[in-house]
Amino acid sequence: MKKLKSVLIGVQVLLLAFTLISCGDDEQTPEEVVDAFTGCCSSDTAFGENVDNLDQSLGEIIVDNIFTPNNDGVNDRFEIKNIELYANHTVTIYNNTDEIIFESNNYGSDSTELFPNVPYDFNGVEGIPDGTYKYKIIIENEQTFIESGFFCLFTNNPPIEQNFAECNPIQPGEFDQILTGL
């Protein structure tokens, strides 16, 4: 009888040890959900310090930090106010992995020199998902003027609930209705 008890206790200990060891394998770690709009409309720089030694008497360079390319005529393009007044400039747009997705040395001169320069409509931008993007503007050279930052591209496709209260469009009050929900 003592032998049987010892065997049963041994079996129970082995089963308990096996159960504890194998339970960790059955659990799956949930995938971390990343918000595509993290940093969206932030006033932080994207690539080091900004430099402004440019005489902006022709007009101040102002960058829109949100746009809604859904072909409704309101905030459909990434706007840089007064960039056309400074001939020697480069505008570069990067995705969230720092790949260049757009670059222009003549930003705003025509529709091919505006971002996005690919087809877009109420379904979104062809090949460019909603999310946070980075920009870099250089005028003359990096010692004269360099500005970098973040902006939001939002078409609400697929529909999501998002708060853009911290965003400052160039034309306040002209938010696209997909941002205001009106």
Residues 6 or more apart whose Cβ sits within 8 Å of residue 56: 82
| Mean pLDDT, range 83-109, rounded to an integer | 92
Residue 68 region by backbone torsions, left for phi larger than 0, else alpha for psi between -120 and 50, else beta: beta
Residue 105 has pLDDT above 50, yes or no: yes
Composition of the chain by helix, strand, coil, percent to 5: 20, 25, 60
Q: Does pTM top 0.85 for this prediction?
A: no
In the prediction, which pLDDT does 120 show?
74
Q: What confidence category does residue 110 fall into, taking pLDDT thresholds of 50, 70 and 90?
A: confident
Q: What confidence category does residue 72 fall into, taking pLDDT thresholds of 50, 70 and 90?
A: confident
Kindly state the helix (H) or strand (E) to which residue 139 belongs, with its residue range: strand 131-139
In the prediction, which pLDDT does 77 show?
85
Q: What confidence category does residue 80 fall into, taking pLDDT thresholds of 50, 70 and 90?
A: very high
Indicate the residue type of 166. E
Residue 159 has pLDDT above 90, yes or no: no
In the prediction, which pLDDT does 168 show?
63
Rounded Cα distance between 159 and 146, Å, is: 35
In the prediction, which pLDDT does 9 show?
55
Tokens of 108: 């705003």
Q: What confidence category does residue 182 fall into, taking pLDDT thresholds of 50, 70 and 90?
A: very low
Residue 11 has pLDDT above 50, yes or no: no
Decide: 53 and 141 in contact? Cβ < 8 Å: no
Percent of the chain with pLDDT over 70: 65
| Mean pLDDT, range 150-174, rounded to an integer | 68
Nearest to 145 by CA among 89, 94, 62: 89
Indicate the residue type of 63. V
pLDDT averaged over every residue in the chain: 77
| Mean pLDDT, range 135-151, rounded to an integer | 93
